Amino acid sequence: MAEYDNVKRGKLVLKGDKRSTKRKRKHRDHDKEGEQKPVIDEDAIKHGGWWCVSSIREMSGSVALEFGNTAYVTALDNGLFNLGPPHDEGDGPSPEEVLTAVVVNDTKVAFKSGYGKYLGLGKDGTVTGRSDAIGGLEQWEPVFQDGKLALLSCTGRFMSIRESDDTLVAVSQTAGENEMVVVRCSALRETDKKPEIPVEEQGSLSEIEVNYVKKFQKFQDKKLKVSTKSKSELKKARNSGTLHETLLDRRSKMKADRYCK
């Protein structure tokens, strides 16, 4: 029995039992160091994920025109538009407040209501949605300045909300606070899209180096010739943006590499 007492006891692992993955998670976190963390848009979160556009090229697809604080232009069944009630924080625009933006050219954009009609300018300066096609009256020029935006009509009048009845109009020749509008979009931004990673750069640093070796190295003796240097220099290189150069240097020191000096 004395011999059994001296034997180091450990947890009995049966077939089918799952072992702890704590070490593997640590390894994956270690390899992910240096990856850019996504930027949180607090303003978009307050508006139900609808973010503020900052250029005409971002005005595409579903948009909403916000005047004031969380209040959006809403389409009426008579072809007119007025300002809807303010929304609670975290809520996006309602379906009747969603428009479709169409970029006409480098300086002009058109908006289509949920009724399938384009927003144009009436004779009295009232904005209406009764046109089936985009003409001169249905084109709007976004004017960006100092982080703010105003929409200019073809008649040189800026879009705004008429205070007396909350109707959408374009009557002012100057852009003041009442003419400031926020165009919000729900489409996935370019900055939100995950960058495409080449196949040979996927996986851990060790796997990445093997992938590069397989891609460039001749296999005269059917054996991989991978650098035996520490992977720490690869980690530093990835963080500093010089991973490709470092991999090239490590390969250049190996034999039978036809692409390296």
What backbone torsions phi and psi does residue 31 show, to the nearest 5 degrees?
-75, -25
* DSSP codes joined into one string, 75-137: E-TTSBEEEPPPPPTT----GGG-EEEEE-SSS-EEEE-TTS-EEEE-TTSBEEEEESS--GG
pLDDT recorded at residue 187: 83
pLDDT recorded at residue 70: 87
Per-residue model confidence as pLDDT tens digits over 165-179: 999 999 999 999 999
Q: Is the pLDDT score of 219 beyond 80?
A: no
Mean pLDDT over 120-125 rounds to 92
Which of 251, 235, 231 minimizes the C-alpha distance to 243? Answer: 235
Domain boundaries, the chain: 42-189, 197-261
Q: How far apart are CA 107 and CA 103, in angstroms?
A: 8
Per-residue model confidence as pLDDT tens digits over 227-236: 666 667 777 7
pLDDT recorded at residue 56: 94
Q: Counting Cβ atoms within 10 Å, is residue 195 exposed (0-12), middle (13-18) or buried (19+)?
A: exposed
Considering the entire predicted model, what is its pTM? 0.60
Q: Which has the minimum average pLDDT: 17-31, 113-127, 131-145, 208-222?
A: 17-31
Per-residue model confidence as pLDDT tens digits over 68-118: 888 999 999 999 999 999 999 999 999 999 999 999 999 999 999 999 999
Q: Is the pLDDT score of 4 beyond 50?
A: no
What backbone torsions phi and psi does residue 197 show, to the nearest 5 degrees?
-100, 125
Q: Is the pLDDT score of 196 beyond 60?
A: no
Task: Look at 234 and 261; give whichever has higher pLDDT.
Answer: 234
Q: How far apart are CA 184 and CA 66, in angstroms?
A: 7
pLDDT recorded at residue 111: 97
Instruction: Report the top-level CATH class of 42-189.
Output: mainly beta
Task: Look at 226 and 18; give whichever has higher pLDDT.
Answer: 226
Task: Look at 251 and 173; give whichever has higher pLDDT.
Answer: 173
**Any idea what the Cα angle at residue 55 is, between residues 53 and 57, rounded to 5°?**
100
